[in-house]
Amino acid sequence: MTAITVELNGVKINDDVEPRQTLADFVRDRCGLTATHLGCEHGACGACTIVVDGVATRSCLTLAAMSDGRSVMTLEGLRSDPVMELLRKHFHESHALQCGFCTPGMLIMARDILQRHARPDVHTIRHELSGQICRCTGYANIVKAIVAAGQEMPQQTVAVAETPAE
Amino acid sequence: MKAAPFEYIRPKTVAEASVALGRRGANTAAIAGGQSLLPMLNLRVALIDLLVDISRLDDLKTVTETPDSVWLGALTTHSAIEDGKTPDIFNGLMRRIAGQISYRAVRNHGTIGGSVALADPAADWPCLLVALEATLRIVGRNGVRVERVADFIHDSYATTLTTGDIILGFDIPAPKAPLRWGFAKVARKSGAFAQSIAIAVMQGKNGPVSATLGGAGPRPLPLTATSHQLTLIGSTEEQVRGAISTDLDTYFAGLDAYQKRLHMANILRAARDMQAQ
């Protein structure tokens, strides 16, 4: 077993984990936070995407042991995050989910996109979202919701990423 | 989809990590970003006894720029390059390539050292580093050695890495004149490994051209006839097509008709993009 200290959604947690345990299994099984969904468990579907030290991370491709000393944020920890509130509203209004399985990863990634791109257009969103799979194929409404949320973002909170030359 | 059990350690220095990787009688692996290794462990196509976490070794994180070259530590992530946090002396080429690798959440953790160590035939960085004639620095049991990336990768997933070796980083020579480049990639799905990666670079206006193809064989290779033809001023498209055909037959035997057309189109696209800059 490996001893780890993780700040999970703002709360410091000390635990002993099996080295092979992924961060996804750690937050779900050890910490009972089940918003993080596991689809493929090899990095292809994006459902398990969470935030580690401020950046979007596949929690199935990170070991709990490797996250020692890191700050981890799951969807549960973003309940009152202003960008997430905006996204929730627009996901609701645009009907941007069907079965809901991919939604936690979609929301985390959508927030990541809005933090890096000011008022992203459809093309940017589709490229940035290409690592998130929705097996209901509900992409049109998901993209619509993110475009709408981007339009409504207070622009001073966006750290505008320079887009590399195409 | 759960990895088989293994031990995990996180050494404090490169020397300790090197010793751990050489532990007698154990199947060991180094992990940096883990974005290729963890899928392989989860799918159990890779089985190990000991995982050595090198992701926090500061010696592997240095990034420096001199008039002659750029040094990228092995732990430089794809997203750091994508976001322009590393020196951009290649006129945006590295940023363009980085932004097309897999997906952002993977790019946030995946490293250039890990990509080259795995040496997937369809990976982007090996192709680029061959195209730019980069070298890499490796620390191992017998000290530090420097190799050309083109020699380091000798077959698909096969490198000169041996027990206890750790890649420190990459030395990429600065272009002698502002770089003009074309980068063309065909993948069935965005973010997936490519069927074809073509990179064409020219040092300044009418300088020497270097064209490199990845995804077509076990490892990326320079296209010598194509590079020569593209360097000659006034080459016709017919002549360039002929040179590409020669290179495909010479370096990538066994391609079927579809693959030949695919690589032909992709190399031509990279060449045109380079010439349009």
Q: What is the pLDDT of residues A2-41, one digit of tens each?
A: 999 999 999 999 999 999 999 999 999 999 999 999 999 9
Distance separating alpha carbons of residues A71 and A8, to the nearest angstrom:
6
| C-alpha R_g of chain A | 16
Count of domains observed in chain B? 3
| B79/A43 Cβ within 8 A | no
Structure-token pair, residue B114: 């890990």
> A93 and A45, same structural domain?
no
> B64 and B139, same structural domain?
yes
| A164/B105 Cβ within 8 A | no
> A144 and A89, same structural domain?
yes
The mean pLDDT value for B136-161 works out to: 97
Amino acid at A30: R
Q: What is the pLDDT of residues B96-119, one digit of tens each?
A: 999 999 999 999 999 999 999 999
Distance separating alpha carbons of residues B200 and A110, to the nearest angstrom:
34
Residue A165 has pLDDT above 60, yes or no: no
Confidence of residue A166 (pLDDT cuts 50, 70, 90): very low
Residue A159 has pLDDT above 80, yes or no: no
> B200 and B163, same structural domain?
no
Residue B92 in any domain: the answer is: yes
Q: What is the pLDDT of residues B200-234, one digit of tens each?
A: 999 988 899 999 999 999 999 999 999 999 999 99
Confidence of residue A154 (pLDDT cuts 50, 70, 90): confident
Q: Which residues contact A159 (CB under 8 A, 6 or more apart)?
A: A115, A116
In this structure, are residues B94 and B88 in contact, taking their beta carbons and an 8 Å threshold? yes
The mean pLDDT value for B135-150 works out to: 96
Residue of A nearest to B96 (CA): A164
Q: Closest by alpha carbon to B137, among B154, B149, B125?
A: B149
Residue A152, φ and ψ in degrees, nearest 5 = -95, -5
Residue of A25, A55, A61 lying closest to B35 (CB–CB):
A61
Structure-token pair, residue B88: 């951009």
Contacts A132 to B, Cβ<8 Å: 103
- Check residue A151 and report its DSSP letter: H
- Report percent pLDDT > 70 for chain B: 100
CA–CA min distance A128, chain B (Å): 7
Structure-token pair, residue B251: 């370096």
Residue of A46, A49, A61 lying closest to B39 (CB–CB):
A61
Confidence of residue A157 (pLDDT cuts 50, 70, 90): low
Decide: residue A158, CB within 10 A, 0-12 exposed, 13-18 middle, 19+ buried.
middle
| B247 or B189, which is more confident | B247
Residue B221 in any domain: the answer is: yes
Range of the domain at B64: 58-173
> A127 and A89, same structural domain?
yes
Of the three residues A77, A111, A133, the one that is the final residue of a domain is A77
The mean pLDDT value for A94-113 works out to: 97
The mean pLDDT value for B61-69 works out to: 97
Distance separating alpha carbons of residues A28 and A26, to the nearest angstrom:
6
> A138 and A87, same structural domain?
yes
Domain with residue B11: its CATH number is 3.30.43.10
> A111 and A51, same structural domain?
no
Beta B69-73 vs B63-65: how paired, if at all? antiparallel
Write the ipTM.
Answer: 0.93
CA–CA min distance B184, chain A (Å): 11
Mean pLDDT, all residues of chain B? 96
Residue of B nearest to A42 (CA): B39
Count of domains observed in chain A? 2
Residue A164 in any domain: the answer is: no
> A126 and A145, same structural domain?
yes
Residue A45 has pLDDT above 70, yes or no: yes
CA–CA min distance B249, chain A (Å): 31
Structure-token pair, residue B29: 């692996």
The mean pLDDT value for A130-159 works out to: 90
Distance separating alpha carbons of residues B213 and B248, to the nearest angstrom:
9
Q: Closest by alpha carbon to A1, among B232, B193, B47, B6?
A: B6
Residue A166 in any domain: the answer is: no
Residue B83 in any domain: the answer is: yes
| B108/A65 Cβ within 8 A | no
